[in-house]
Every structure is written in C-alpha cells, then in structure tokens.
C-alpha cells in the first residue's frame, strides 16, 4: 500500500488503515532520509501493537523521487530492518532535476545505476519506475529489458496490462535455465577436481558465475517454468 507522504496530514491514518487490514508492506513516497523511514517505522510499530499484529509483519519500501533521495540512498537502505526495497519514481525525480521523462532513459541513468549499486551493497531489493505510455508495449518491453540487464529486481507498474510484459522479461527462458544448470553442474564437478576455470558452451566460466546460475534456477522455479534437464 502506498501511503501519503509524511509531509501531509494523512500518512498516520493511512498506516493505521493498512496495518489493521493486515497489509504486508507499505510504500513510503518521496523518501529523502533515514529519518523519513524511521518515522514511518515507528508509527507502523505503534499501530501493530494496537492492532494485535505480529511485530515486524509490516515491511517497508522507500520510493526515491528526488536528487536528495538518490544522494542519501545508503542511509535510506540501512535505516530499518523492515525495509526490503527501494523504488525509483521518475516523475518527481525528473522535475527535481529540471528535466523531463525523455523515453530514452538518459535522464534516469545515474539514479538507476546508483540505486542498483547501493541496493546490492546493503542487501535490499531495487525496483524501477513505472512506464507511463500504456499503449506502447514494445517500449515497455525494451525499458524492462534495459533495467533487467542493469540488475533491477523488478519494475513498478501502473496497469494490469503491463504485468505479462514484465513477467516475460523477468522469467528465464528455457535456454537460460539449461545454461544455468550446466554452469552449476560443471562448477560443482570442476571444483571437486581442483579446476577453477573452464568453458561451458564455448564461454569461459569460473566460480563467479555460480551464484547467478543458482539465482536463475531459483527464479525459474518461482515462476513455475523450471524443468530438470538430464543432459545439462
């Protein structure tokens, strides 16, 4: 549930309604500091106690919508153990930068890269901004492919029609799955033999590829498309 900003008179009542309804997570808009996150966390904890909800049930996501928010990403990402992710919001962010959403992504490139790097360094997830051209599915697919390749964990959406496109990009293909299986198998076998570098399907592979391959397999299983290949 996205609440109103903490600079409005509505956010505490929003939290109350969300927590009493059993909401799993709250999205904090216009987050610019650790204090913003902690203010919401304190109100969530207070409301959980009042509602008889298990302490810690309600997780937090911080929406980054300004230059200050981008600069303070590290303190935001480490502000609360409830914070599971950060998300870029391009509308207010580009306004703050005195530019507009161009469609090329050039105006968002710095924020996107900093967000991915900071999220990985602090152990939280990161999500890209919405794509607002609702009838341009090819544009949505291209942008989703871009942010997928940058390392984002997902993309915010504004219409149910966008769900299949984002899922298509983020769901591993059968070729991806087969290659990941081969990598895991070969690394396990070669490690036991004391071999550190080798090739899989003509590509140089070492232990640095192991976690990524395991992640591909886990994602395929979560998406319900995983099949074990005997000759992988």
Segments making up each domain of the chain, as ranges: 11-129, 174-223
- At residue 231, does pLDDT exceed 70? no
Alpha-carbon distances of 30 from 62, 86, 97, 128, 155, rounded to whole Å: 8, 11, 14, 15, 17
Task: Provide the Cα torsion 98, 74, 212, 104; round to 10°.
Answer: 0
Domain 11-129 sits in which CATH superfamily? Phosphoenolpyruvate-binding domains (3.20.20.60)
Residue 58 Cα distances to 17, 143, 149, 156, angstroms: 12, 30, 30, 19
pLDDT digits 0-9 by tens, 122-181: 999 999 999 999 999 999 999 999 999 999 999 999 999 999 999 999 999 999 999 999
Q: Terminal CA-to-CA distance of the chain, rounded, Å?
A: 42
pLDDT value for 27 = 98
Confidence (pLDDT) at 185: 94
The residues pairing with 11 across neighbouring beta strands, listed in sequence order, are none
pLDDT band at residue 228 using 50, 70 and 90 as cut-offs: confident
Q: What is the pLDDT of residues 179-213, one digit of tens each?
A: 999 999 999 999 999 999 999 999 999 999 999 99
**Torsions phi, psi for 225 (to 5 deg):** -120, 10
Global pTM value: 0.91
Closest alpha carbon to 152 in 133, 130, 174, 132: 130
Give the distance, in angstroms, between the CA of residue 214 and the centroid of all CA atoms in the same chain: 18
Confidence at residue 204, expressed as pLDDT on a 0 to 100 scale: 94
Q: What band does 232 get if pLDDT is binned at 50, 70 and 90?
A: low
| Residue-wise pLDDT tens digits, 28-42 | 999 999 999 999 999
* pLDDT confidence band for 227 (50 / 70 / 90): confident
**pLDDT of the residue at 230:** 65
Q: For the chain, what percent of residues have pLDDT higher than 90?
A: 96
Instruction: Answer whether residue 229 shows pLDDT above 80.
Output: no
| Cβ neighbours of 9 (radius 10 Å) | 7
Average pLDDT over the chain, rounded to whole? 96
């Amino acid at each position: 549930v996205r609440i109103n900003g903490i600079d409005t008179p509505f956010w505490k009542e929003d939290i109350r309604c969300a927590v009493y309804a059993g909401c799993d997570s709250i999205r904090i808009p216009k987050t610019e500091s650790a204090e913003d996150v902690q203010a919401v966390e304190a109100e969530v904890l207070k409301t959980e106690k009042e509602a008889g909800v298990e302490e810690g049930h309600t997780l937090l996501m911080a929406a980054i919508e300004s230059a200050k928010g981008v600069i303070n990403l590290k303190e935001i990402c480490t502000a609360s153990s409830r914070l599971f992710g950060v998300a870029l919001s391009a509308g207010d962010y580009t306004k703050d930068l005195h530019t507009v959403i161009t469609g090329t992504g050039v105006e968002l490139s710095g924020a996107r890269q900093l967000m991915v790097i900071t999220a990985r360094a602090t152990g939280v997830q990161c999500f890209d901004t919405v794509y607002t051209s609702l009838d341009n599915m090819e544009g949505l697919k291209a942008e989703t492919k871009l942010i997928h390749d940058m390392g984002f964990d997902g993309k915010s959406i504004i219409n149910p029609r966008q769900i299949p496109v984002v899922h298509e990009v983020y769901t591993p293909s059968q070729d991806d799955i087969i290659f990941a299986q081969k990598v895991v198998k070969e690394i396990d076998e070669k490690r036991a033999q004391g071999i550190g570098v080798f090739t899989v399907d003509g590509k140089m592979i070492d232990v640095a590829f192991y976690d990524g391959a395991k992640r591909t397999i886990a994602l395929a299983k979560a998406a319900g498309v995983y099949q074990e290949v005997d000759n992988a």
